[in-house]
Structure 1
Amino acid sequence: MKNQNAPAEGVVGHTPLTVVLVLAVIAGWAVWWVVRYLRADAMTRQSIRQAVRVRWGWKRLAPMLKLSATDKTPTALATLANTNGKPIKPRVLIPALKVTHDAFGVIARAQCLPSVGLEQFQKAAPHLADAWRCTRVAVTQDQPGQVVIRGVRLDPLKFPTEHLPTGDVPDETARWDLGVDEYAQPVSVNLTQVPGVTVAGLPGFGKTSLVNRLLSDWAPSSAVQFACADGKVSAAYEGDYADWVQRMFAFVGDDLEEANKLFRHLVELRRARSASVRSVLGVKSMWDVGPSDRWPLVVLIIDEAHTYFRDHKGSDPKTKKLAALAAENARLVEDLVKKGRSVGLLVILTTQKSTGDAIPTFIRDVCPVGLSFAQKTAEAAVAALGEEIREWPDANPINLQDPTYVGVASMNHQSQPGFTRIRTPYVADADAARIAVQTASLTADPYALLEAVLGPRLGDLDLTKTDTEAA
C-alpha cells in the first residue's frame, strides 16, 4: 500500500535545511552589519546607533507628533472575519520610514498619508529634532507622496573640508559645485544663462578659495576660457592666481589702464559675438547649443573689484585720469554683465563689501547670484545679499565672524526659498597648480577663436548695432 504520509514526511525532511538557510542568511547579515559598524569612524558609529533608535521608535513617536492617520473603513478581510457583528476598530496608519545614515546624522524617507504630508512633517521638524537628538531637522519633498527628513547631530558648517580636483572634464560646463549646506547636502549653482556673480566677505574668510575651486573644476574643459583682473597685485607672478595665469588668456593687476584695455577687449569680443552668433551657431543664444571649443564660455574674474571702480577724488591731472578710467571700467563691465549673457560671457566679481562704492549698483543689481562670507555690519550683509537677508537672521553673514566659520558663506539658493549657509572646501595650492599645469595647453583667446571661424568676414561685421541689444 502507498504511504499517504510521504508528502508530509518530505516537507518535514526539508524543514531543517530551510531553517539552516534562514539562519545562515541572518548570521551573514549580522556579520556584515557588525563589520561595517566596526570599520566605521567614531562619528559614523554614532549615526548608526542613532539610525537604529529612529527606526525602533518610529511607530510610537509618529502618533505622538500627529504624523499618523486613522482609517475607519474596514478592510475586506476584516469584514469577512467579523462574525460577531461588533463594530470593527479603526486602523491607525503610520507612514512607512526608511532610514540611512552618514557621519553627520540620519536621512529618513517617509511615505505620505492622507492628511499627513509635507506641511505636517515640516511642522513636526522641531519635535523630531528633540526626539532624534539632532541639532536641526529639515523636511523637503523628494517626489510626489514622499518626503525626506534630514537630521544632523553635528553641525557640518563647523567642520573644515578639502576638495581634491580630479582633472577630469566636468559633466556640466556651467555647474558650480560650491560645497555642502547646513544639512551636509551637496550644493551647486547652475550658471547657465547667468551674466554675473558677486562674492563678498571679510579678508581671509574664503572668497579666493571659492573661486579656486571653480577654476580647478572647470579648467580641464576646453569649452571654458578664463581672464582675470586681480586688484590685490601688480604683476602676474604675485598673489593667489600666479599659478593660474598659464590657464588664462589674459591677466592684469591693479593698474587701471591695463584693466581698461582688458575690459575693452572683452567688450569687443561681446560685440563680435552678438553680431555673429546666428551665422556661426545658427541660434540667438549660445546656451541653446552650449559652449564649445570654438565658442567657449568666457569667465572674467574681477578680484577686489573696488580697485577698478573706486571713485577717485581730486583735481590734479593724475587723479582725474584715474577717475576717468574707473568710470569707463564700470561702463565696460556693465556692458559685459548686461549684454554678454546670451553670447557666453560670465563675470565673477569679488570684494570685501559689495556696497555701491565697491561695485556700482548698476552692475551689482544685475548679477542674479550672490554669496557672502563673514561681514561686520548689517549694511554690508544687505549690500551683498539684498534686503531679504534681514528676515533670515540665522543665515545673516554677520554671524559668521567666528574663526570656526572661515570658509562658510550665505547665499540665496536657486532651488529653495530664503537663504542657506554653505561650507566651501579648501583647495590646496599644490593641487590648483597641478591642474593649471595639466590644462595650460587648452588656453586660447576667444577673440582669436572667433577670427579663425569667421576669417575675413569678421571685418565685415557691423558692431555698432549690437550696442543697443540687451542679451
Structure 2
Amino acid sequence: MTDVVEVAPVVAGVALALIVVLIVLSWVLGIVRYVRADGMLRASMRQAFMIRRRWRRLARLAGLTVTDRTPTFMDELTTKDGKTPKPRVRTPRIVVTGDHYGVIVRAVCLPKVGLEEFQRAAPYLADAWRCTRVSVLPDGPGRVVIRGVRVDPLSAPTDHVPTGEEPADLATWDLGLDEYAEPMNVGLDGVPGMTVAGLPGYGKTSLINKFICDMAPSPAVQFAVADGKVSAAHEGDYADVIGRLFAFVGDDLAEANALFKRLVKLRRDRSASIRNVLGVTNMWHVGPSASWPLTVLVIDEAHTYFRDYKGNDPETKKLAALAAENQRLIEDLVKKGRSVGILVILATQKSTGDAIPTFIRDVCPVGLSFAQRTAEASVAALGDDIRNWPDANPVSLQSPVYRGVASMAIQGRPGYTRIRTPFVDPADAAWVAEATAHLTQDPAELLAAFTGPHGLEAEFEAVEADVA
C-alpha cells in the first residue's frame, strides 16, 4: 500500500504531462494546417472554430437540446437531503471539419432531438453559421451529418482534367458536385437509357465527353455516337474523340438507321448467347469485360432521328419511314438492352414527345436537364413533380452563372438536386482518345469470336422458334 501511495503522484504527473503534450501537439498541428491552407480553407477553418465555440448556446436557441431531470449517481451523493437535484440540459455532441466550400458537422442525436429536429432547425443554423444553405442527412443510427456551404458550389465553374487511367468502377458515372459540394454519382448497372436535355451551350455535350474520357481507358467500354448536329465525323463536338468510337454517324437518317439496326442485331445476338458465353442472364452480375464490353450509344440532338415528317412526296415519305423505324429500333435497345450491357444516352434541347417519343423517354430511369426556357420543357425532362420544386427547376438556370449546372432526381433524396458538371477541355479529350484508340473494338466482332459468324444467327433463330 505504501508503494502505491508513493508511485501514485508520479503516475498522475506523467498522465497529466501526456495530456498537456497532446493538447499542445493538437494546437501546433492545427496551426500548421491553418498556415499551409489557402484562403478558402482558412475561412472554413475559422468558421468551424466559431461553430464549436458557440454550439451550446446556439443549440438551446434552435431547440436542439433536451432537459434531463433524472439525477445522476453523483447528483444523489452531493445533493442535501430533502432537495431535488437540478435538471441537466443536454446538448448533442458535434465534430466539425472545414473544407473549401464550408463545414461538415457530425452530430450525435439525443432523445427527442433527432433527424427531424435537426432538419427543422436547418434554416436557423444556416443563418447563424453564415451559410448559403444547410442540409441534414442521416449518418448512421443515432447520428446526423450537417453540411453547410459558405460558398455556393453551383456558381463556380469547375474543370475536369482526365487522368488517362483505367477507371476502378465501370458501374458508376461521376457527374460532378451537388449544391452541397458532395460528389454526385449515378449507377449504370440498372440503367438501360438516360435522357439529357437543356439549351444549347449549357453543358450537355461536355457532360457526355467527360463520360467518354473517363471510361475510354477501359477496354470493357465501347462507344458509338449519332450526332444530329453535323454531317461528318470531323465536324462538331465529337471530332476530338472519334478515334475511340467504333461507329459514328451524322444527320443522315439512312446512315443512323443502319447503325441502329447494327446495335439491335447486337442486342439480339447477345440475348441469344449470354447464358452460354457468360453463364448468367444479366451481364451486370459479372460486370463488363474486354470481350463483352458495356456498349454505349450516344444520340446527340436526338430529335433529328425521330422527327415526324409530314408530306406526300416520295422523299418525305422515305424520311418519315426511316424516322418511324428509328423510333422502334431505339425503343428495342432501351427496353431490352440493359441486361446484355447496352446503354443508350439521348441528348436533346427539349425532351418533349416530338423530340424523344414518350414510349422511349418514359422508360429511361435517369433524366437530367440543364437550363430550359419554358416550364413545359422542364416537365418533359424531369416529370410533372418538378413544378413543386421551383428552386431546382431548370427554368431558373438560364443565367450564364449556371452554365454547366443541371437538375435531376436522385434516388433516396426528396425532390430534385442541382449538380455542377465540370468542363472538359477539347484538347484533353483529344489526347485521351488518341492514347486509347487502340482499345476500340466492334462489340459484334468480339461476340463473334465466341460463337462464330453463323452460330449467332442459328442460335437466335432457335430462340425465336422456341418462343413461337
TM-score bracket, shorter-length normalisation: over 0.9
The residue aligned with 2:145 is 148
* 1:223 paired residue among 210, 220, 225: 220
Q: Give me the whole-angstrom Cα distance separating, in 1, the residues matched to 2:306 and 2:425.
A: 31
* 1:462 paired residue among 456, 460, 466: 460
* 2:388 paired residue among 382, 387, 391: 391
Q: Residues 450 and 349 from structure 1, CA distance in 2 versus in 1: closer, same or farther, beyond 3 angstroms?
A: same
Shift of 1:462: 2.6
* 2:276 paired residue among 279, 283, 293: 279
- Is 1:198 paired with 2:186? no
Q: Give me the whole-angstrom Cα distance separating, in 2, the residues matched to 1:446 and 1:164.
A: 28
Q: Give me the whole-angstrom Cα distance separating, in 1, the residues matched to 2:417 and 2:7.
A: 67
- Is 1:353 paired with 2:367? no
Q: Which moved more, 1:240-249 or 1:30-39?
A: 30-39
Write out per-residue CA displacement over residues 298-324 of structure 1, whole angstroms, 9 at most, x where no aligned residue. Answer: 100001101111112222211111111
- Is 1:318 paired with 2:315? yes
Q: Give me the whole-angstrom Cα distance separating, in 2, the residues matched to 1:143 and 1:6.
A: 44
Alpha carbons 1:337, 1:347 under 8 Å: kept: yes
SS of corresponding position for 1:56: helix
Q: Which moved more, 1:436-445 or 1:418-427?
A: 436-445
Q: Give me the whole-angstrom Cα distance separating, in 1, the residues matched to 2:183 and 2:264.
A: 35
Shift of 1:6: 12
Shift of 1:447: 0.7
What is the number of equivalent residue pairs in this alignment?
A: 465
Q: Give me the whole-angstrom Cα distance separating, in 1, the residues matched to 2:130 and 2:298.
A: 43
SS of corresponding position for 1:363: helix
Q: Give me the whole-angstrom Cα distance separating, in 1, the residues matched to 2:31 and 2:258.
A: 65
- Is 1:439 paired with 2:436? yes
* 1:417 paired residue among 414, 418, 422: 414
Q: Residues 281 and 62 from structure 1, CA distance in 2 versus in 1: closer, same or farther, beyond 3 angstroms?
A: same
Alpha carbons 2:269, 2:457 under 8 Å: kept: no
* 1:58 paired residue among 55, 58, 61: 55
Q: Give me the whole-angstrom Cα distance separating, in 1, the residues matched to 2:54 and 2:334.
A: 54
Q: Which moved more, 1:27-36 or 1:325-334?
A: 27-36
The residue aligned with 2:183 is 186
Q: Residues 462 and 24 from structure 1, CA distance in 2 versus in 1: closer, same or farther, beyond 3 angstroms?
A: closer
Alpha carbons 1:271, 1:463 under 8 Å: kept: no
- Is 1:77 paired with 2:71? no
- Is 1:175 paired with 2:172? yes
Q: Give me the whole-angstrom Cα distance separating, in 2, the residues matched to 1:259 and 1:6.
A: 89
Shift of 1:285: 1.3
Alpha carbons 1:270, 1:336 under 8 Å: kept: yes
- Equivalences for 1:159-308 in 2 at 5 Å? 159-308=156-305
TM-score normalised per structure 2: 0.95
The residue aligned with 2:423 is 426
Shift of 1:13: 12
The residue aligned with 1:112 is 109
Q: Give me the whole-angstrom Cα distance separating, in 2, the residues matched to 1:145 and 1:424.
A: 33
SS of corresponding position for 1:462: helix
Write out per-residue CA displacement over residues 260-296 of structure 1, whole angstroms, 9 at most, x where no aligned residue. Answer: 0000000001111111111111212112221111111
Q: Give me the whole-angstrom Cα distance separating, in 1, the residues matched to 2:327 and 2:10.
A: 89
SS of corresponding position for 1:172: coil
Structure 2 residue runs without a partner (length 5+):
none
Shift of 1:257: 0.5
Write out per-residue CA displacement over residues 40-75 of structure 1, whole angstroms, 9 at most, x where no aligned residue. Answer: 222222111111110011111112211111222112
The residue aligned with 1:407 is 404
SS of corresponding position for 2:136: strand
Q: Give me the whole-angstrom Cα distance separating, in 1, the residues matched to 2:52 and 2:160.
A: 34
* Amino acid across the alignment from 1:170: P
Write out per-residue CA displacement over residues 135-173 of structure 1, whole angstroms, 9 at most, x where no aligned residue. Answer: 111100011100001111111100000111112221211
Alpha carbons 1:189, 1:414 under 8 Å: kept: no
SS of corresponding position for 2:242: helix
Shift of 1:10: 9.6
Shift of 1:83: 4.1
Q: Which moved more, 1:378-387 or 1:165-174?
A: 165-174
Alpha carbons 1:275, 1:466 under 8 Å: kept: no
Shift of 1:18: 7.3
SS of corresponding position for 1:173: coil
SS of corresponding position for 1:143: coil
Alpha carbons 1:271, 1:466 under 8 Å: kept: no
Q: Give me the whole-angstrom Cα distance separating, in 2, the residues matched to 1:387 and 1:5.
A: 80
Q: Residues 370 and 40 from structure 1, CA distance in 2 versus in 1: closer, same or farther, beyond 3 angstroms?
A: same
Q: Give me the whole-angstrom Cα distance separating, in 2, the residues matched to 1:468 and 1:356.
A: 36
The RMSD of aligned alpha carbons is 2.2
TM-score normalised per structure 1: 0.94
Structure 1 residue runs without a partner (length 5+):
none
Shift of 1:427: 0.9
